[in-house]
Structures are given as structure tokens and as C-alpha cells.
């Protein structure tokens, strides 16, 4: 690390660990798609073993986890389905009283929409750093990319980059500065400007000025 940060963790610690716990449940008459027995049942057969397995987390598992956290003086963020607050309010109260953070995690695991279009309403794309107020019927959705990708971004098909911009996976600025793709006002690729931008980025990588094309001292 060339530039060391000017801050330190409390008590001179060298590393921080974040604990996130998913406390999940399913609606009445619904079972998890995974059973501890690993034996898929025929379609339409209710997996009561899986229901019992899922109930363990709310009735016993979370309390054992909190005991473990307490032994090490650790706190966690517990992502909880709302249905658990209805069924086991004392458990949710215990989580908060023991100093852990309680986070919303949909109503139940079987009612999480697969697509945003299932929610209806209007979608507002907000900046990554932003403050706003959420109403009772609002849904906050976060999407991020898993990794840096593979290969030189300047070799990626410009049309694929434009599609990512439309899907809000890549910003217009990111397309320009990382992929060297310039978009027209209608979202299509400006081929001539993209060729020029990619050439300029390659010269910049080599320490060349796009105008003088000389090595920087």
C-alpha cells in the first residue's frame, strides 16, 4: 500500500470484521426450497421437514448465535423477514435489546419478487451517495456488479456497453472513461467519437499525449 490511511481501528486493531445474519422465514403453508435431508419431494408435496428446519433459526438458532457474539463482544446486523416480527416479536425484541441491528429483509422469503416489474409503480434511479425519505409503500433496491470483469475494457463491444448503460449497470461517465464508449443523446454508440476516445485512452496508458503523442518526461 503506497498511501497508508491516516486513521486506525479502535484499540490499534488491524482488521475489522462485519457480521451479517439472515434470519429468514416463509409464509404459512410454504416451505424453503432446500431441505436438510437433500431429498427433493414430488411437486405439490409440502416439505414439513424443511419447515421445521427453517423454524429452528427463529426459535433456537438466532439465540445461540447471539450468545456466541456476546462471548466475543461482537455485534451483528440481523436481516429479518417481517413475518418473523409477527410470529416471534419477543425474538426481534431480544435482538435489539442485546445491541444488534435489526434490518428489513422483505416480508417472507417466498414473496420476494424476482423482477422489479412485479412491483409496479415508478422507478427512480438515484446516485450512489444520496439521502432521501422512503414512504410506507416504497421499495429500495440495490444492484451492484460482482467483480472487475475479464479482459481489456477497451476491447469490449461498444453496443454491449451501451446496453449496460440503458440497464443502469454502467454510468455514462463510466462508459466514456473506462470503456472509451461515447454515446449519442439517444443512447446509441457514436462510432467516430468512440474510436477517437479509445485511441486517446490507449495513448494515455502509454504515457503519450493525445495531441503531441510524445513521451511525458
Question: Which residue would you say has higher pLDDT here, 190 or 129?
Answer: 190
What pLDDT does residue 215 have?
A: 44
What pLDDT does residue 76 have?
A: 96
Question: Looking at residue 200, what DSSP letter applies?
Answer: H
Q: Which of 112, 145, 180 is the last residue of a domain?
A: 112
Confidence of residue 148 (pLDDT cuts 50, 70, 90): low
The label of the residue with cell 490499534 reads: 12
Q: Per the structure block, which three cell numbers stand in for 130? A: 444520496
Question: Looking at residue 169, what DSSP letter applies?
Answer: S
Q: What is the dihedral of CA 187, 193, 198, 203, to 10 degrees?
A: -150
Select from 61, 32, 62, 63 the least CA-distant residue to 49: 32
Is 19 inside any structural domain?
yes
Q: At what angle are helices 62-71 and 89-97 packed, to 10 degrees? A: 10
Q: Per the structure block, which three cell numbers stand in for 40? A: 427433493
Is 128 inside any structural domain?
no
* Average pLDDT of span 167-180: 91
pTM: 0.52
Q: Report the distance separating Cα 81 and Cα 68, nearest Å.
A: 22
What pLDDT does residue 1 have?
A: 47
- Count CB neighbours of 98 within 10 A: 15
Q: Do 163 and 105 fall into the same domain?
A: no
Question: Which residue would you say has higher pLDDT here, 92 or 46?
Answer: 92
Q: Per the structure block, which three cell numbers stand in for 197? A: 476516445
**Residues forming beta bridges with residue 79, ordered by sequence position:** 22, 103
Is 79 inside any structural domain?
yes
The count of domains in the chain is: 2
What pLDDT does residue 94 have?
A: 96
Contacts of 49 (CB under 8 A, 6+ apart): 35, 36, 37
Residue 2 half-sphere exposure, CB side, CA atoms within 13 Å?
Answer: 0
Q: Which of 112, 127, 143 is the last residue of a domain?
A: 112
The answer to whether residue 216 scores a pLDDT higher than 50 is no
Q: What is the pLDDT of residues 13-36, one digit of tens each?
A: 888 889 999 999 888 888 887 766
The answer to whether residue 68 scores a pLDDT higher than 80 is yes
What pLDDT does residue 189 have?
A: 97
Q: Counting beta carbons within 10 angstroms of the beta carbon of residue 39, is it exposed (0 to 12), middle (13 to 18) or buried (19 or more)?
A: exposed
Q: What is the pLDDT of residues 91-147, one digit of tens each?
A: 999 999 999 999 988 888 888 666 767 777 888 888 777 788 877 677 777 766 656
Percent of residues, the chain, with pLDDT higher than 90? 46
Is 63 inside any structural domain?
yes
| Domain range enclosing 181 | 153-205
Pairing relation of β-strands 77-80 and 20-23? parallel
Question: Which residue would you say has higher pLDDT here, 203 or 113?
Answer: 203
Is 211 inside any structural domain?
no
Q: What are phi and psi of 11, to 5 degrees?
A: 60, 25
What pLDDT does residue 155 have?
A: 95
Q: Which of 80, 112, 144 is the last residue of a domain?
A: 112
Q: Do 100 and 172 fall into the same domain?
A: no
Q: Do 176 and 100 fall into the same domain?
A: no
Amino acid at each position: 500500500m503506497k498511501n497508508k490511511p491516516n486513521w486506525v481501528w479502535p484499540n490499534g486493531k488491524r482488521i475489522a470484521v462485519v457480521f451479517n445474519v439472515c434470519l429468514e422465514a416463509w409464509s404459512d403453508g410454504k416451505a424453503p426450497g432446500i431441505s436438510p435431508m437433500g431429498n427433493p419431494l414430488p411437486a405439490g408435496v409440502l416439505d414439513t421437514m424443511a419447515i421445521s428446519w427453517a423454524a429452528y433459526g427463529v426459535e433456537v438458532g438466532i439465540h445461540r448465535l447471539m450468545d456466541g457474539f456476546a462471548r466475543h463482544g461482537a455485534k451483528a446486523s440481523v436481516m429479518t423477514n417481517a413475518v418473523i416480527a409477527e410470529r416471534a416479536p419477543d425474538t426481534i425484541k431480544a435482538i435489539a435489546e442485546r445491541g444488534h441491528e435489526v434490518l428489513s429483509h422483505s416480508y417472507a422469503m417466498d414473496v420476494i419478487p424476482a423482477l422489479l416489474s412485479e412491483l409496479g409503480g415508478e422507478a427512480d434511479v438515484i446516485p450512489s451517495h444520496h439521502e432521501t425519505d422512503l414512504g410506507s409503500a416504497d421499495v429500495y433496491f440495490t444492484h451492484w456488479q460482482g467483480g472487475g470483469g475479464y479482459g481489456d475494457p477497451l476491447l469490449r463491444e461498444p453496443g454491449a456497453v451501451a446496453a449496460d448503460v440503458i440497464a443502469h449497470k454502467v454510468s455514462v461517465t463510466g462508459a466514456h472513461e473506462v470503456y472509451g464508449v461515447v454515446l449519442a443523446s439517444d443512447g446509441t454508440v457514436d462510432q467516430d467519437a468512440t474510436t477517437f476516445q479509445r485511441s486517446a485512452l490507449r495513448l494515455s496508458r502509454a504515457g503519450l499525449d493525445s495531441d503531441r503523442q510524445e513521451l511525458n518526461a
